Amino acid sequence: MSNTLGKIFRITTWGESHGEGVGVVIDGCPAGIPLSISDIETELDRRRPGQSQITTQRREGDIPIIFSGVFQGVTLGTPIMIMVKNQDARGKDYRETEETFRPSHADYTYEAKYGVRDWKGGGRASARETVGRVAAGAIAHKILSMQNIEIVGYVKKVWDIVADVDSDHVTRADVETNEVRCPDVSVAKTMIERIKKARKDGDSLGGVVEVVARGVPPGLGEPVFDKLDAQLAGALLSLPACKGFEIGSGFDGTSMTGSEHNDPFYSDSGRIRTRTNHSGGVQGGISNGENILVRAAFKPTATIAKEQNTVNKFGKETTIKGRGRHDPCVLPRAVPMVESMVALVLCDLLLRQSVNPAR
């Protein structure tokens, strides 16, 4: 079940980078949720390649096709299958990787596990797989919005360039004002120029995506092993190139005392609130009603145009230089991916609380 996420709202993604297509099957979606192709296209357009000068120049329209589970504009409660065809695949660009392992890619590990792999563009390990996650995430966003839950993600950091963002009030409109998806406009310009320089140098950059979920009710989460923060961590770390997870104060909290870090409770018109939110909206693995704030750290893109030392499948030392079309920095396109994973986890937990937003 390694390709499946969720207990009630369950998604299974399928497809390889340069195969016929990629997609997802969603099971457990409640009946009666209004859903159109445009709902899904809006999210996929934010994830698709070729959208700016600082992303991969692979040209994919990423037009979703809904095969089942929707009738007359509403979900049926039956499995929903969504497919996106690969229209600009160039498998020949990767012929060299049929026998040669690219540094920091999944080439060697897939070969070690299965004894066979699709070497065209990374196959199943490619970020192309996330098309299915984002398509499913669009449906999760719809369900959550019916409970007034809003999720907004943005680029917090590129390389050593850090943005100053008010997570309590930032909007998607703020995020979408520039191609790097950083709402701190002055910092965004610096980020964009640094990414362009990395591309020109044949190199790549990493960074951090921050996501806030507002309006999440208290009580979501399933102790002990299905804690909300544990599920969020697992979901985000399952994304290609994601190497780190934080919630609330994260690692910075280790430099604070208990008296500094604790979130004091108070009553606000009968609602229990906290005056600070170092916990990031989760305590004891359960949501406390405050904003959920998480961060996902992404490594620099592994495929670079500089020549690197490696070995082939026979153990012979050789070199390899990245070919094909790749992001010099995954962060701008990772924003909708991270948002989608947060939405999928929250949607599943909401439904595990026996809430059907359509009723």
Q: What is the pLDDT of residues 238-262, one digit of tens each?
A: 999 999 999 999 999 999 999 999 9
Per-residue pLDDT of 60-113, as tens digits, reads 789 999 999 999 999 999 999 999 999 876 667 788 899 999 999 999 999 999
Q: What does pLDDT average to over the chain?
A: 94
Per-residue pLDDT of 156-186, as tens digits, reads 999 999 999 999 999 999 999 999 999 999 9
Please state, in angstroms and rounded to a whole number, the distance separating the CA atoms of residues 178 and 73: 32
Specify the amino acid at residue 175: V
pLDDT value of residue 48 = 87
Per CATH, domain 4-352 is 3.40.50.1980: no
pLDDT > 70? residue 359: no
Split at pLDDT 50, 70, 90, the class of 49 is confident
Per-residue pLDDT of 256-295, as tens digits, reads 999 999 999 999 999 999 999 999 999 999 999 999 999 9
Name 92's Cβ contacts closer than 8 Å, sequence gap at least 6: none
Cα Rg, the chain, nearest whole Å: 21
Q: List the domain boundaries for the chain.
A: 4-352
Burial 142-168 (b: 16+ CB within 10 A, else e): bbbebeebbbbbbbbbbbebebebebe
Looking at the chain, the whole-number percentage of residues with pLDDT higher than 70 is: 95
Task: Answer for the pair 75, 99: CB distance below 8 angstroms, yes or no.
Answer: no
